[in-house]
Amino acid sequence: MRLLLALVFVLGLALQVLGQIPSIASSVSAAASPSQTGSTTETYPQPMPPVNLDNICKGHIINICPEWEEPQGFKFGVYRLYYTAQGSPTVDVIRTSQLSLQITDLAPQTLYDVWVQGQDKNGVWSANSSIVTMTTDPADPKYDPTRDIQGFSCSKTTNPSNNRNAALCSWTAALDTVRQINYKVRCSSANTEPTLVRRRVYGANAATATSAFFAINRNDATCVFKARFYYTRRPTARHSFTLTF
């Protein structure tokens, strides 16, 4: 009996050596958890994309401010934000660890498509978030010269009350409302002391004015006609024209 048991024990050892019986060490190795640094033999699931992407600085002329949130149950350490002007072949990418950005020096009155990705601790990038269109505002009308009055000029004419020299200054109405006009006319000559005329126009008369008449009553003078236009929502504008009588 002892001899039979010894033979069975020796046979079992021989089979284990030949690999026909799994060892305890190999079975433990197969059940080990994946490496947190990532490996070529382990596949990690793709995380959900960031959510609630929005522009938090609406109303800017050259800026957009994308902001987003992490999806529930996911934690990202790095993000890639993509943006492109609609119709442009160029896509710009910004890498950040923040949940919001301010993108500056963009084109005014332009639509930008924006989306974002997040990278988890395993180095896996999420799918793209939903694309959100963000808009920059038109150029500030306060500094738009096309909104000012156009074509300010003066021409010689005659004063109907005495048939002496006069001038008529005219212009094209402004796109913005004019609330006040200040005129200053200075005439000078070699033989006569300079004369200065000042005049102001307010309210509705200023808003609808497209011309101004000035009695000069001098025959040999050079006159400089200056007009300063005050607008409701933009800086004042100065215009000048010179005539020689």
Confidence (pLDDT) at 62: 84
Confidence (pLDDT) at 235: 83
Q: Residue 127 pLDDT > 90, yes or no?
A: yes
As given in the structure block, the two tokens for residue 215 are 């009695």
Counting residues of the chain whose pLDDT is more than 70, the rounded percentage is 82
222-231: strand order across its sheet: 195-202, 178-188, 222-231, 237-244
Q: Residue 15 pLDDT > 70, yes or no?
A: no
Q: Residue 26 pLDDT > 50, yes or no?
A: no
Confidence of residue 36 (pLDDT cuts 50, 70, 90): very low
Give Cβ neighbours of residue 161 (< 8 Å, ≥ 6 apart). 215
Burial of 221 (0-12, 13-18, 19+ CB in 10 A): buried
Q: Comparing 63 with 3, which gets the higher pLDDT?
A: 63
How far apart are alpha carbons 228 and 225 in whole angstroms? Answer: 10
Confidence (pLDDT) at 31: 28
Confidence (pLDDT) at 23: 31
Q: Residue 201 pLDDT > 80, yes or no?
A: yes
If you average pLDDT over residues 33-55, what whole number do you get?
67
Are 190 and 243 a contacting pair, CB within 8 Å?
no
Average pLDDT, the chain: 82
Confidence (pLDDT) at 239: 95
Are 76 and 70 a contacting pair, CB within 8 Å?
yes
Q: Residue 158 is inside which H or E element, if any?
A: strand 150-158
Beta bridge partners, 214, equal 167
Confidence of residue 27 (pLDDT cuts 50, 70, 90): very low
Q: Residue 95 pLDDT > 60, yes or no?
A: yes
Confidence (pLDDT) at 233: 75
Confidence (pLDDT) at 114: 97
- In order of their start, the domains of the chain are 51-139 (2.60.40.10), 143-244 (2.60.40.10)
Low-confidence winner among 20-34, 134-148, 180-194 (lowest mean pLDDT): 20-34
Q: What is the pTM of this model?
A: 0.46
Q: Residue 2 pLDDT > 80, yes or no?
A: no
Q: Residue 98 pLDDT > 80, yes or no?
A: yes
Confidence (pLDDT) at 139: 74
Low-confidence winner among 21-25, 77-81, 127-131, 166-170 (lowest mean pLDDT): 21-25
